[in-house]
Structure 1
């Protein structure tokens, strides 16, 4: 069951078991600590308060005896009354201690001792009260009271014995609780040490088992993979009982080795087949080379026949050389004429476009110059008007400044009644200053506009210059068209001369041309056929050489592949 778990589940189970041991250890430790805490609380909340209460009662009862002696030996009545009040106060404190202790006494033995203590204390209080009454009657009763008190001290000793019993009982209870706490501590200590030892042993056993379960199969897998990496494919299948990830790894390793064996076997067979095919290919290449050698002889025979035919064609070519020169002159003249005609046509078209563009540009420039002149005149007029407005604004600002100054003076004369007017005068002064500053800025802007206007005037002058240049271009275009007309006439004369020469040569060249063309075509066809065959033979020879070289390379590759395959042990 455990072997079928995954590695994750195994690790989780082991760590969970260790955590369970820790939780058990912690729970027991906490339980024992709670027990020690309860015993300590019992000592501090039950036994110690009981001991303190009993000790307090002992002290108060002894204090009552002491006060009784003081009452008997008191010199006057006031002192006796004071001592009697102290005694009554002590009685009340003792009664309170009785009530509190009675609430704490839950053991039958303790309660029995406490009840006897209460009984004897009640008797002692009654007898002590009669002693105090005799002591208050006068000196003649003091001796009787002293004697009675001494007799009652035996009862007080009995009270003390019961008090001692209560002290011993509470002391023993505290010791018992302390021993219980010590026993709980020792028990917890022994259990903790035992659990720690058991936990260490179990954790060590689990660690050893898990390590063996994980490391041993991994070592087998690692060893097998290392042998495969060295080329040893004769690896026995890994027999691992684990059903976890390590078992899956072992199964995958077995499958990988099997696949590698099949692959290497197939590669070895393929390499052997390639070596055999390369040998056969080399043999075929040699046979093809022999056939190509025979084809070369046939091609040489065809080349000799083509040479004979070519010699016959040369005799005809000599007769046509003169005619060819004349025809070449005709062709050259005709080409020149065609080029001249083409250039003439292009020049005429370009000249027409230039003239039209020049006219359009002249019109556009004229219109633009007129518009710019009108706008510049408007700008000059606006600049003059703006300068006038600036002068008016500056005058108003200065006048306003003077008025604000006068208002400030009048407000100063008016004193407190002119404070509001002084504020207004100050604001008016600020406005006048701002108006004057704005007027200065506007004046600067007007100056800038005037500068731009002057620049525009210079641009207008440049435009006029451009117009004049355009006019010159139009005149130049006219002259170009005149030259074009002369060139066209010259071309016509050349074309007429070429036509006359062509007529003279056409009659003598027609008969010879037919024979020369037939012979030339036959010789050319034969020569082309020989060249094609020779080229094909050369290409075939080169291909055969490449095939031979490839066969050699393939054979070497097959040998290298076989050498690589031999590295693996199947």
Structure 2
């Protein structure tokens, strides 16, 4: 954060400060810009007004000076005045000058001088007598000197003339002789300078209407000498003034060439509206900023209250795990209302999720418990099947040994039959030995019949065991099918158990196929044993008959030889059947051994299934703990 101090403020105070700044800075900038523009406009307006007043005073003064100079020159061309200067007779000129003074109210006096400065005639006798005593001063006066040079000057306008008892504008013009233009004398017309105050009264009145009470007009010579000040003689002000001047040019020669006409006013008074407007704007800006701060505070309060309510509910949910708490606030249509609505939807979704999770964990727990029970039952069944297979394997081993012994006996019988045949061919002398051999053969055939009968019983027992194994495999197949169905019900959590169930079902199918093959082999073996038993019984009967015939008579020796040959052939058949039985029993033993290995694998798979069910039970317990963490 660029300003760390702002990080310690609350959101309400920061928002209030930001809104106040955002509203204050543009307002102050706009106020400054407006004040700058207004000041510039007011300055131009004041300057224009002052310039207009200065130019107006200049024009009035120019017009007045020109008019009075022209009037004085026209008077100087009067024949009465020329005649008075030539004849030195002032009777007519006095009457004329007195008449002019009465006619022109702005004229304080008019005097006719000779070329050497002697007052010859005047508008009043007193005025003539006064100038008569000042002939030397008249000759040195600037206005007299300039008039002799045929120029007009306004020198002495600032002085209070003792003769006229006030400020006058002395305009002196030469009196020239008609035709020759020879200078005869000088005519002095003293105009009242105080009339200038009357001339500027309209300008002062206009300024007063504008509220410029300090407005003043001044007339200055080029050297800075003040000729007129509307504030009065000797007015002095140390304060800075706004001044606009207009200068009388020299384009047209007159007595006011080079004069400076100034219009001035106090800046504070001239810019008083701007200062008042600035104070008003600043006051309004302060009020606006205060209103903006108050409004932003109220706005922030409106923002913070629902946010604080949401925060309290969220903290309560985080600390207590209680999803049942309601939001104590009104939901509006603005963004905060949308946020509150979304929060309410989130709380409802969390409550629904927690409820669903509780229900799912209960169902999953029941399913896992059922799966464990089923797995334990199947493990017990498979253990019993394994024990039965072990017994079957032992029995198959015994059958194998018996079959091997029967094969050896069959070989022995075959050898005996061969010897008996040799003995029968040898003659009658060997008959007794043959009788003994036949007797032994009869006994061996009886034993072999017993062995074959036992072998038949063993084969039937193996068939029963095989049927039991098939039933167990069918039961395993059904259990695997049920486990697969429960795994599908369990969803994602039962996928691993479903794989195990499919493997168990595959092993059960293989067991069923193997037992069917064993049953087929046992069937073939039983048929062969039955055939051997029948042949053995027939051989036993024939041996008995042969013994009876040999005992009854030795004449039947040839027949006995034939019988012995038949017996030898039967014995060979028995030997072949016993060999086939031995091969079948070996296959049965191999199948039972394979079935035992498969049962071991099935037991290992069931153990893995039990372990997976135990882990699934642990996960279920964890899910139950998570689900119980929230109250709904």
Question: If you compute each CA radius of gyration, which structure gives the higher value, 1 or 2?
Answer: 2
**TM-score interval, smaller chain:** 0.3 to 0.5
Greater length-normalized contact order (CA 8 Å, ≥ 6 residues apart)? 1
Structure 2 length-normalised TM: 0.41
User: Where is the strand percentage greater, Structure 1 or Structure 2?
Assistant: 2
User: Per residue, is there more helix in 1 or in 2?
Assistant: 1
